[in-house]
C-alpha cells in the first residue's frame, strides 16, 4: 500500500479550489464526523471538494496513491461508507447548490445537498420529488441507492425521477449519464450506489406538491397494535396514492399532544402524509383514525417542509445506530405477533421498528428497468437499533438481529441497499437479485480495478476475490 508524502499533498492542495485536511489540521476532526457515531475512522486525507475539477483531481490522486477511497455526500449512510481508515475521503459536503427551473420542472442538485436544501429551493415554487423522511439525509447517497419517502406511492422512487447525472468515473472522465447518453451507466447508478463513480450533479423531475400537505400522527397503545395493523393491512390496498401511512412501533417520545402518562410507554404510531387537496385531508385519514382508540393524535394542514423535518429530533447525529431490514409484500399475522413481542422488550428508549409503505407508482416500473429491482415490495421494514452508550452495543445489536431473524420467514428475501450495515456485505446480491450480473458487467467496464469499493460493493469480474492494489 502506498503512503502520502508531504510533497504529494502540497502538490494536490495547489491544484484544488477546496482544501485537503490531514490528522491534526484544524477542522479535520469535525470533517470526519458522520451521522452514525458507531463509525470511528481516521482517514489519512480528507479532500473537501468545491467543484467538479476538484473531484476529478481527487479521484486521480486516490488512483495514483493506491490508498483506500471513500466518498462522502451527506454522511448519513448507516454503514459509514463515507469514511475509510487510513485512506482518502472525497468530501462533497461543500457542494450544496440546488437550482430549480420551475418552467421545466427540473432541479439540478450538487452531491453535498441535503433533503432540507432540496426542499427549501423546490418548495419555493410548490415543487418536490420523492426523497426520504429525514431532512439531514444527503440527496446523493439516498438517490444512488434507490430513494423513497412520503411521495413515492404517488411519484415513484427517487431514481424513477432522476433524469440525468454528471459522473466522474475511475479514469477521471466526466460523463453525462441519461437515457440517451451512456445509458448503461445511467441504468447502473439508479440503485447501484456509489460503485461507478462520483456524481457531481443530479437532474431531477419535479412535481407540484404543497406548499401545504395534510398529515400528522395517530398514536395507539401497544396492546392495540396487532388489531390496528390488521386494519392497516386491509386498508392499504384501497388507499389512494396521494396518501401514505407508515407505522412505527417504539416507546412514546414526550410529544406535547400525548398525555404525560403515555410518555415512555410502548406505542404504535401511524405517520400520515396526504398530498391531495388539503381540504380533503380529514376525509382521507378517517379510516386511519378508526384503526383503534388513540391515546393521542395530532393531524392537520402543515407545510410540506415541516413534515419533511418532523422526525429530525428522533434522528439527530451523534447517536449509535444499527439497522436490520427486510422488504415485505404483506404484513401476515405471524409477523405481527413477533413484532409486538419485540417492542415489549426494547433495549433502549430510542429503538424502533417501522414499516415504510411504498407500492403504488413504485410498482409501475419493470424490475430490470434500472439497477434497483425490488418493485414487488409494498413495505420496507427497518429494525432501528439506536442508543447512546457504547456499553449497550452488544445488547442493542442482539435485539435488532433477533427480530430480523424472527421476521425473515415473512419477508421477500430482498433488501433495500441503503439500509444495509457494514457487516452485511454478503447481502449485496440480495439487494440486486436478477440485476446483479448486469451490474458486475457495467462495474467491470467503468471501474475494472474497483477504485470505488468502500460501499456495498459490486466487484468487477477482473478483481476476483476483490483484492486489488490498496484494497482495504
Mean pLDDT to the nearest integer, 172-184: 98
Determine, yes or no, domain membership for 136: yes
What CATH number is attached to the domain comprising 325? 3.40.462.20
Is the pLDDT at 471 greater than 60? The verdict is no
Is the pLDDT at 463 greater than 80? The verdict is no
Is the pLDDT at 467 greater than 90? The verdict is no
Determine, yes or no, domain membership for 355: yes
Question: What is the number of domains present in the chain?
Answer: 3
CB 151 within 8 A of CB 129: yes
162: β partners? 204
Determine, yes or no, domain membership for 449: no
Distance between CA 233 and CA 237 in Å, rounded?
8
- pLDDT at residue 465, rounded to an integer: 39
Q: What percent of the chain has pLDDT over 90?
A: 96
Asked if 198 and 346 sit in the same domain, the reply is no
Determine, yes or no, domain membership for 386: yes
Determine, yes or no, domain membership for 324: yes
Determine, yes or no, domain membership for 131: yes
H or E stretch covering 186: helix 183-189
Domain stop point among 42, 75, 91? 91
Asked if 138 and 53 sit in the same domain, the reply is no
How far is the CA of 424 from the CAs of 193, 211, 451, in angstroms? Answer: 15, 39, 20
Asked if 58 and 140 sit in the same domain, the reply is no
Domain stop point among 421, 436, 461? 421
Asked if 321 and 369 sit in the same domain, the reply is yes
Asked if 45 and 184 sit in the same domain, the reply is no
Asked if 47 and 151 sit in the same domain, the reply is no
Q: What's the half-sphere exposure (Cβ side, CA atoms, 13 Å) at 195?
A: 29
* Cβ-Cβ contacts under 8 Å for 67 (sequence gap 6 or more): 1, 2, 3, 4, 44, 45, 86, 87, 88, 470
What are all long-range contacts of 117-122, with beta carbons under 8 Å and residues at least 24 apart?
119/304, 119/305, 119/308, 120/305, 122/98, 122/206
Distance between CA 67 and CA 46 in Å, rounded?
12
What CATH number is attached to the domain comprising 143? 3.30.465.10
Is the pLDDT at 4 greater than 90? The verdict is no
Asked if 391 and 273 sit in the same domain, the reply is yes
Determine, yes or no, domain membership for 452: no
Mean pLDDT to the nearest integer, 349-366: 97
* pLDDT (tens digit per residue) in 196-222: 999 999 999 999 999 999 999 999 999
Distance between CA 416 and CA 383 in Å, rounded?
13
Determine, yes or no, domain membership for 458: no
Dmax (CA) for the chain in angstroms is 69
- pLDDT at residue 401, rounded to an integer: 97
Asked if 80 and 134 sit in the same domain, the reply is no
Task: Please tell me which residue, 470 or 108, carries the higher pLDDT value.
Answer: 108
Distance between CA 166 and CA 176 in Å, rounded?
5
- pLDDT at residue 462, rounded to an integer: 74
Asked if 63 and 139 sit in the same domain, the reply is no
Domain stop point among 174, 208, 242? 208
Asked if 296 and 358 sit in the same domain, the reply is yes
- pLDDT at residue 2, rounded to an integer: 55
Smallest CA-to-CA distance from 200 within 293, 95, 128, 274 is with 95
Give the domain range for residue 238.
212-421
CB 347 within 8 A of CB 166: no
* pLDDT (tens digit per residue) in 183-196: 999 999 999 999 99
- pLDDT at residue 464, rounded to an integer: 45
Asked if 265 and 132 sit in the same domain, the reply is no
Asked if 249 and 283 sit in the same domain, the reply is yes
What CATH number is attached to the domain comprising 30? 3.30.43.10
Amino acid at each position: 500500500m502506498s503512503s502520502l508524502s508531504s510533497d504529494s499533498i502540497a502538490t494536490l492542495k495547489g491544484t484544488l479550489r477546496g482544501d485537503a485536511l490531514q490528522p491534526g489540521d484544524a477542522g479535520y476532526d469535525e470533517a470526519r464526523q458522520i451521522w452514525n457515531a458507531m463509525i470511528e475512522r481516521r482517514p489519512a486525507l480528507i479532500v473537501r471538494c468545491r467543484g467538479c475539477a476538484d473531484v476529478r483531481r481527487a479521484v486521480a490522486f486516490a488512483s495514483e496513491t493506491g490508498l483506500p477511497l471513500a466518498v462522502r455526500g451527506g454522511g448519513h449512510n448507516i454503514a459509514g461508507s463515507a469514511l475509510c481508515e487510513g485512506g482518502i475521503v472525497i468530501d462533497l459536503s461543500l457542494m450544496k447548490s440546488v437550482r430549480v427551473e420551475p418552467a421545466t420542472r427540473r432541479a439540478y442538485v450538487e452531491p453535498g445537498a441535503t433533503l432540507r436544501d432540496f426542499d427549501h429551493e423546490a418548495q419555493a415554487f410548490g415543487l418536490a420529488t420523492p426523497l426520504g423522511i429525514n431532512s439531514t439525509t444527503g440527496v446523493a447517497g439516498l438517490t444512488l441507492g434507490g430513494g423513497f419517502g412520503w411521495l413515492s406511492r404517488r411519484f415513484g422512487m427517487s431514481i424513477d425521477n432522476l433524469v440525468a447525472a454528471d459522473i466522474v468515473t475511475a479514469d477521471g472522465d466526466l460523463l453525462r449519464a441519461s437515457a440517451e447518453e451512456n445509458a448503461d451507466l445511467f441504468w447502473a447508478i439508479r440503485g447501484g450506489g456509489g460503485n461507478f463513480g462520483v456524481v457531481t450533479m443530479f437532474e431531477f423531475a419535479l412535481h407540484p406538491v404543497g406548499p401545504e400537505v395534510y398529515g400528522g400522527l395517530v398514536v395507539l397503545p401497544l396492546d392495540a397494535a396487532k388489531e390496528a395493523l390488521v386494519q392497516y393491512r386491509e386498508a392499504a390496498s384501497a388507499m389512494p396514492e396521494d396518501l401514505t401511512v407508515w407505522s412505527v412501533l417504539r416507546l412514546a417520545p414526550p410529544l406535547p399532544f400525548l398525555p404525560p402518562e403515555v410518555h415512555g410507554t410502548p406505542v404504535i404510531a401511524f405517520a400520515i402524509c396526504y398530498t391531495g387537496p388539503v381540504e380533503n385531508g380529514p376525509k382521507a385519514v378517517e379510516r386511519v383514525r378508526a384503526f383503534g382508540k388513540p391515546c393521542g393524535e395530532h393531524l392537520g394542514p402543515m407545510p410540506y417542509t415541516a413534515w419533511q423535518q418532523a422526525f429530525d429530533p428522533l434522528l439527530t447525529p451523534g447517536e449509535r445506530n444499527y439497522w436490520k431490514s427486510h422488504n415485505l409484500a404483506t404484513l401476515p399475522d405471524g409477523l405481527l405477533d413477533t413484532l409486538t413481542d419485540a417492542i415489549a422488550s426494547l433495549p433502549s428508549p430510542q429503538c424502533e421498528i417501522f414499516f415504510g409503505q411504498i407500492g403504488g407508482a413504485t410498482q409501475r416500473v419493470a424490475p430490470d428497468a434500472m439497477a434497483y429491482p425490488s418493485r414487488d415490495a409494498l413495505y420496507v421494514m427497518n429494525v432501528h437499533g439506536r442508543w447512546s452508550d457504547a456499553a449497550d452495543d452488544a445488547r442493542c445489536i442482539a435485539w435488532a438481529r433477533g427480530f430480523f431473524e424472527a421476521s425473515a420467514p415473512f419477508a421477500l428475501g430482498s433488501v433495500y441497499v441503503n439500509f444495509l450495515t457494514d457487516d452485511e456485505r454478503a447481502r449485496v446480491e440480495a439487494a440486486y437479485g436478477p440485476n446483479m450480473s448486469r451490474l458486475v458487467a457495467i462495474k467491470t467496464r467503468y471501474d475494472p480495478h474497483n477504485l470505488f469499493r468502500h460501499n456495498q460493493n459490486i466487484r468487477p469480474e477482473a478483481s476476483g476475490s476483490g483484492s486489488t492494489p490498496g484494497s482495504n
